Each structure stands twice: as C-alpha cells, then as structure tokens.
Structure 1
C-alpha cells in the first residue's frame, strides 16, 4: 500500500491554493467555461469540493471512527453545488473552500490516527465496506482528479486558436 497520511495531507493542504492561484480575481469567463452540456467548470468544481468538505470526507471518517454500530455513510449528492453555489462569486467560493478545508485538516490532524484507525471500516452505500485509509486516499486523488479536470477544460478553451501547435499538445490531438 502506498498510502501515507502525511503525504496526503500535504496535497490536501495545497488544493485551495491551487484553485486560488488560478481563479481568484480572474475574469469570470475562465471560471465558468466547461466542456459542453452537463460538464463542470472550475466554479462548479469548487462548489462540489465545498459540499464534500461539509458532507463527505470528515463526516464519513467520523462515522468510521465513531462508536455507533451502524457504519453506513449517507449518500453523497455529487450535484448539490448546482443549488448551493447559486448567487455566490468565485472569490466567495474560494474563501469558503479554503476555510472549510483548513477546518477539515485540523480535525484530521487532531485525531492522531494510528494504523489500527486507518484499517477501520465504514460502509459506502454503493461500494460496500471501505477502510479509513481508502477514504483518505480517495479524498487525495479526488482533489488531484479535479485539478486535472479544470486544466483540461481550460486547455480546450483555446483549442481552435493554437494553430499548428495543436499537434504538440496531447490534450488537443483528440479533438
């Protein structure tokens, strides 16, 4: 197993700064471009990450670490940001995400997790039994996957404007 909590925390701590560096005070168009209908923009992704901070990662870890016999997670609404982010600016979402992530990581660090804790299990409503280490690994990869996604969306925004350089940019070769 490659999972190391401290390595994951280093990534999780940096995610808000990555989003702030790319989108804080930037023209709204960059934060709202997407790949077409039913796809997500950076604005959508930030809202999604906020919802995850509130209802997914730490709340599920609490279920795993808690004393209740029932370790079943509540289902996660992957599209809740569509209503929860309405009327908020990108900068407001960035501030909220940064604050919530700091709170989540403070909680995670305060637990001083042991190998025994990381092997404790919860029950995902669709996937079945999962360990705390798997949950925390997924949280880390989830951040990185969304950073990849927003980069891809931004690259494709200028796809028709790069001319012959399109041949050198792998993401654009398949368009």
Structure 2
C-alpha cells in the first residue's frame, strides 16, 4: 500500500470516533463486553495514548535516525481517566491532525529509513506506517465489536448469525 492509502485510513479514524461518541450513550461506550476485554471507551483511550506517545514519536525517531525505546501499551495515563468521551475524541482529533500534517512532509526516500526496535530488530518507516493504519482499524473494530455484544445477546433467533463476533466470558 502507498503512503496515500495509509493517510486515507488514518484520516478516517477521527471521523468514525466522533460519530460514535456523538451518537452513543456513555453506558454503552463504557460497557466491557467481558472480563479482560476493552470497552469502546478503553479503545479510544488507547488510540489517544498511541497518538500522543507512540506513532508520531516514532516517525520523528526514524527521521532523526534514532533507535526506538520500548513502549508499554499498558502504562496508564491518569489524565485521560477524568475526561469525558467528548473531550477524549476532541483531543484525539487534534493530535491526529498534527500527525497527518507531519506525514504530508514525508518523502519516498524517508519510507526506506530503518531503525532498531527493542523487540523486533530492524524495522522500516513504511512498515511502521502500515502498522499504524492497521492499529487504527484493529482498535476501531475492537470497539465496534464491544458495542455489538448487548445487541447480539438480545436478538433471539438471529443470534447464530453473529457467533463469529461474540466475545465469550472466560470459563470459570
């Protein structure tokens, strides 16, 4: 895929999240589908943290020729816990716009740059950009899957049509 495709995916994510936050009640956004599974709101928290502390920082590392430092996706950022979904999505939109602006300045030669990742070894910028787009889609799908759960549970005889999307609680 080209940089244009990656930018297209990254530009759709804020709009999707704005629509979800604008349209859905807090109890549905924050509903955990099963123990250990993320709610839609937790997915938004994670995407915002990645936008603040991971992907743009790593693009800058590539451009500076600096190897990556480890990133802990489980590290909580307490400043997000007190924010409303509207505040979270507003912050995400602003950070993402900055990221998209930064990506506009990349040249084809930049995409070939490589650095050392602490767990993966040598990685290229284009590989990381593909990861960023896939990461956006993965966590948006994860959020939508979490949102599906209460509807699937109450759809009666149609429930078998959704079996592939059910998040089953862990067995006791």
TM-score, normalised to structure 1, is 0.88
* Residue in structure 1 matched with residue 28 of structure 2 by the alignment: 30
SS, match of residue 81 in structure 2: coil
Shift of 1:45: 1.2
Show structure 1 runs of 4+ deviating over 6 A.
Answer: none
Q: Structure 2: how far apart are the matches of 1:81 and 1:73?
A: 20
Alignment counterpart, residue 139 of structure 2, candidates 136, 141, 146 = 146
Q: Pick 1 or 2: higher relative contact order, CA cutoff 8 A, min separation 6.
A: 2
Alignment counterpart, residue 161 of structure 1, candidates 136, 145, 154 = 154
Shift of 1:112: 3.3
Is 1:120 the equivalent of 2:113? yes
Q: Structure 2: how far apart are the matches of 1:53 and 1:172?
A: 27
Q: Structure 2: how far apart are the matches of 1:15 and 1:167?
A: 30
Gaps of 5+ in 2: none
* Residue in structure 1 matched with residue 129 of structure 2 by the alignment: 136
Contact 2:40 2:147 in 1 (8 A): no
- Structure 1, residues 40-97: CA drift from partner, whole Å, max 9, x if none? 1121111111111111111111111115xxx321222212346231111011001000
TM-score, normalised to structure 2, is 0.89
